[in-house]
Amino acid sequence: MAPNLFGRGSWPEARRIADVLRKETIGGALLLAGALIALVWANSPWARSYHDLLSLTIGPAAWHLDLSLATWAADGLLAIFFFVAGLELKREFVAGDLRDPRRAAVPVAAAVGGVAVPALIYTAVNLGGAVRGWAIPTATDIAFALAVLAVIGRCLPSALRTFLLTLAVVDDLLAIVIIAVFYTAHLSVLPLVGALVPLVLFTMLVQRRIRSWWLLLPLAFAAWALVHASGVHATVAGVLLGFAVPVLRRDGGDAPGLAEHFEHRFRPLSAGVAVPIFALMSAGVTIGGLDGLSAALTDPVAVGVVAGLVLGKPVGITLATWLTARFTRASLDAGLAWIDVVGLAVLGGIGFTVSLLIGELSFGAGTARDGHVKVAVLTGSLAAAVVATVILRLRNRTYRRLREAEQVDADGNDIPDVYER
């Protein structure tokens, strides 16, 4: 029997993913609010106070952690975001959809295509120039995308929502690898080796299912600080700490494991505090009117970023999904069409958090090129959101019918009938 693209998973997994999507949707709204405040502030008569705030330095100098608030946001708060990403990645590979190679093939291939094609487009535009920014348009911002989806696609079937979340999870993994491998400017071996000590101790404690914050948080901070001192981007520490947390219970029971417990605790902090503050600290760019906007968007770096997000992401995701279906002889689930895949692929072109971070790593925070990257990321993401809105709204009647079918519970056992077939 040929595999089924975008088939429904189990009811517990669908319910868990729905809970994750609700939290990320709220976080996306806060992210957009933070970005809007930053843009208005940076282009107001009080713009200097915004930039003064970003450059304000706090932290213990003895530990080489006297950092600006902008750096604390990018290196510190985003470590929480990547810790949650690490938890989600491990859970998907151990107990989620990605544990089944047949179900994992489509979102993994789509994520790879969604990274490769934008990178190639950016590189082609900037060949012989600022190719260091090749990874900027490769990231999908799940919170931003879900905030858009909450407005335009409330009836989107659960299988498509699951696909988007899983694709974004794999996308995060690829982004982590890219940051660690390609954006480490210098490497100090001693702090990096030293980071293994608190990381190993943290791992031993969580493997014993110890969740005492007064033990775990100091170890996590020590690992983060040492990775930061090594020259590897400190957010990598967040991912490694997330990978250390066990997913399954020792007794094999149905209750949530430690990874899911931590995810419930830290996802609201990540989506509701860390990412919105990062947006506030990173999205503020002084545009300088229409002339400034024109100058920013005609920079080859900005052209490559916009083209990568608006064209590269949908082409890469759609093409990889189609090739996977072709070679596995898979068919789309009943009621769905390839235009639905295209709509989600366009939505995948909404890049924000990681794109802004890679822009800063590529060209330096506060530089003219970094400003052009911010304008391009915002422009490309807005364009992707508009195009995705048009495509998905055209299919809204179909989605509503599929969604209604998914909610039928004729036997009244609180499990929709479609998950019991």
Sorted by where each starts, the structural domains of the chain and their CATH numbers stand as: 4-183+233-407 (1.20.1530.10)
User: Is pLDDT at 420 greater than 70 in this prediction?
Assistant: no
H-helix segments, 245-312: 258-269, 275-282, 289-297, 300-307
147-170 pLDDT, tens per residue? 777 777 667 777 787 788 888 888
Please state the rounded mean pLDDT for residues 97-103.
74
* Token pair of 336 as six digits: 């769905």
Q: What are phi and psi of 273, to 5 degrees?
A: -125, -60
232-243 pLDDT, tens per residue? 888 889 999 999
DSSP string for residues in 64-125: T--EEHHHIIIIIIHHHHHHHHHHHHHHHHHTSGGGSHHHHHHHHHHHHHHHHHHHHHHHHH
Share of the chain above pLDDT 90, in %: 42
Q: Is the model more confident about 305 or about 30?
A: 305
Q: How confident is the model at residue 1 (pLDDT cuts 50, 70, 90)?
A: very low
CA distance 362 to 133: 5
- On average, the pLDDT of the chain sits at 85
Q: How confident is the model at residue 254 (pLDDT cuts 50, 70, 90)?
A: low
- Residue 125 is predicted with a pLDDT of 95
Q: Which of 21, 22, 343 is nearest to 162 (CA)?
A: 21
Please state the rounded mean pLDDT for residues 246-267.
79
- Residue 417 is predicted with a pLDDT of 61
Secondary structure in 3-state letters for 154-211 = CCCCHHHHHHHHHHHHHHHHHHHHHHHHHCCCCCCHHHHHHCHHHHHHHHHHHHCCCC
The length of the chain is 421
273-314 pLDDT, tens per residue? 998 999 999 888 888 778 888 888 999 999 999 999 999 999
Q: Is the pTM of this model over 0.95?
A: no
Strand, helix or coil for residue 134: coil
CA distance 347 to 364: 28
Q: How confident is the model at residue 173 (pLDDT cuts 50, 70, 90)?
A: confident
